[in-house]
Structure formats: structure tokens, C-alpha cells
Amino acid sequence: MNGIIVVDKSSGKTSYDVVRRIKKILKPKKIGHTGTLDPLATGVLAVCLNEATKLARFFIDDDKEYRVVMLLGVKTDTLDTDGQIISEQEPRCDKGDVEEVIMSCIGRHNQAPPLYSAVKFKGKPLYKWTRQGVNIELPPRDVEIYTVNIEDISMPYATFHLSCSKGTYIRALCADVGDRLGCGACVAGLRRTRSGRFLEHDAVSLNGCDEKEQRERLLEHFISLDDAMPDLPSIPVDHATEKTLRQGCQPIVEVFENSDISSLNEGDLIKFKSRDNNLVAIARMNAGAEIIPLLDKRTPVARLVRVFNG
């Protein structure tokens, strides 16, 4: 069972809780997720099973989309309503002020990870250091907010949608908005609606059903290795080539002779598929289409970056 299942994580559960539940139901040998969601947050969580864990690195840089409910006038230690209240006051700003500051978030920012986050320092998540009374301040990261669409402002709440780069902390963003408005703010609700190619409507909920039905739901939403990487150019290979690739031999010119490679450039990622339509390997091109016909057919022209067991 090699593939990905997109789960609609419920509030109050950690990302690890979801992974642990799926492991209990489907019993894969290897399992992991592609991006932590806070316990308060809901929505898209892609879980990789067995050979699909080798794909996780390709999703690290994926953009994300969220629906955010921000509570103005409240500061907490975790930057969301799950935390302890640090200060509380009536917001002295109007809807226009709130809208202006939220919309000004579009663009690039330097953002430090919150003290309560899963970012690791010396192999241990920041939230564990913080709970032990040790405050670790990591250097800010460069993040970007691409789009913001405000859904509603009904003081003291503001609801909006945004798309952003990897590593963006929505809690930190809301806290910054609150500071700029002079009243403080925290996240009251957060839903991830997209993570890369994985969308909200792809996600399966495990709520309200027993283990048997959960298993059925998970299998119904199973995404194969090949389908998880639909945008990569596909190179079909025969059984002999499949065997050599799985053994780690680098792809040579001869492998490409019966494929349309006219669009390939140096640095492109490609995937090799077996005759029975299974993903064999992912490689990065060392040469472009204009160079390959000039080379000896035994010349390696791509470098394997992931090989998958049959």
C-alpha cells in the first residue's frame, strides 16, 4: 500500500494524532505527514504511506491556502485561543482600520517562528523548550503572502482567506496585525483549504464513524504514487530498464529514445513508469532536449533523486 491520503483534520487533534490513527487502521510499515497543522486548526493534511514517504520532500515547498478567523483585542501565549490570555482589551479601531492592516500583509515578510511551534531546535520542537521554561528565539524566515480576501469583519472578529508560501505562521501574522492595530490579536479559527495540489475537496473526514467505516473512507480516497505527482513529464520504461533503475543505475540516453523529450530542460524533474503504470523513479535532467540527441546512447543524462520499490 504505497500512496497518499488527504485527511480533513478536525480541531483538537494534533497532526500526529491523525498519523497515529491511520497507522492503527491501515498498518503501514512507514507513515508521515507533509506539514504540521496546529491542534486548533482543521483541514488539509496529506499523509504519506510506505513508499510515498519518499515523496514528502517534493511537497515541502508547496504554497498553502487558509481561511482565518482572527480575534481582536486578545493576546495569548500561543497566539491562538488555545493558549493562556496575556492581555485583553476592547479594540479601539473600526472596520476600515482592520481591513487596511489585513490587506497590507500582502507581500514578503521576515517572520520568526512562534515559541509554541513544531520547528525544531537541537532536535526538539520549540513548544517543548517553551513548556520547559526555555525561550529559544530562532532567526526570522523569509515568507510571502500572495493574496488576501476579506470575508467578513464583525468586531471583534475578522474572517479572511489568504494564500502564502511555505513556513508562514498564520498565528504570528494575526499577532502582528493586532500589534499594529494597538489592541493585540490571536487566531480563533484556522482551516487549511489547500496544500500544494491537495485541495479541501480531496480531504476525507474520519469523524462520526467506526473503525471499519474509517478504513473504507481512507481506501476510497487513496492516491497512488503516480497520481500524487501528476505534473511531472512521464517516461515509460520496459521491464529491463525498470529493473536497472530500481537498482540505482542512472538513466542513459537510450532510455529516452522512444519518448517525446522535446520540452525537457536541464534541471527538470521527470518520472519513470513501468509497463503496469507504477512509479519506478524520479530523476532530475542533467541535459536538455537539444543536447541529448548529440550524445552517445550509453551516456547518463539524468540523476535519480528517488527510487521506489516495486
The CATH number of residue 243's host domain is 2.30.130.10
Query: What gap in Å lies between CA 199 and CA 64, rounded to an integer?
Result: 10
Q: Are both 68 and 191 inside the same structural domain?
A: yes
Q: Are both 251 and 187 inside the same structural domain?
A: no
Mean predicted lDDT score pLDDT of the chain: 93
Q: What is the pLDDT of residues 220-273, one digit of tens each?
A: 999 999 999 999 999 999 999 999 999 999 999 999 988 888 899 999 999 999
- Among 8, 17, 38, 226, the one annotated catalytic: 38
Phi, psi (5° rounding) for residue 39? -55, -40
Q: Return contacts of 132-140, CB within 8 angstroms, 24+ apart.
A: 137/112, 138/112, 138/113, 139/112, 140/110, 140/111, 140/112
- With beta carbons less than 8 A apart as the criterion, state whether 258 and 240 touch: no
Q: Which of 188, 192, 163, 195 is nearest to 78 (CA)?
A: 188
Cell of 32: 508521515
Q: Are both 30 and 84 inside the same structural domain?
A: no
pTM of the model: 0.89
The count of other CB atoms within 10 Å of the CB of residue 302 is: 26
Total structural domains within the chain = 3
Q: What is the pLDDT of residue 250?
A: 96
Q: Are both 177 and 206 inside the same structural domain?
A: no
Q: Are both 93 and 152 inside the same structural domain?
A: yes
Q: How many residues does the chain have?
A: 310
Burial 98-135 (b: 16+ CB within 10 A, else e): beebbeebeeebebebbbbbbbeeeeeebeebbeeeee
Q: What is the pLDDT of residue 124?
A: 80
Q: Are both 153 and 119 inside the same structural domain?
A: yes
CA atoms within 13 A on the CB side of 179: 9
Q: What is the pLDDT of residue 156?
A: 97
Q: Are both 236 and 220 inside the same structural domain?
A: no
Q: What is the pLDDT of residue 214?
A: 93
- With beta carbons less than 8 A apart as the criterion, state whether 212 and 219 touch: no
202 is catalytic: no
CATH number, domain of 72, equals 3.30.2350.10
Q: Are both 105 and 206 inside the same structural domain?
A: no
* Residue finishing a domain among 227, 248, 268: 227
* Residue finishing a domain among 175, 195, 215: 195
Q: Are both 218 and 173 inside the same structural domain?
A: no
Q: Are both 217 and 292 inside the same structural domain?
A: no
Q: Are both 48 and 129 inside the same structural domain?
A: no
Q: Are both 189 and 260 inside the same structural domain?
A: no
Query: What gap in Å lies between CA 262 and CA 239, rounded to an integer?
Result: 24
pLDDT, mean of each 10-residue run, the chain (310 residues): 95 94 95 91 96 92 96 96 95 95 96 78 80 80 96 97 95 96 97 96 92 94 92 93 95 90 93 93 94 91 92
* Residue finishing a domain among 141, 174, 195: 195
Domain span holding position 45: 3-62+198-227
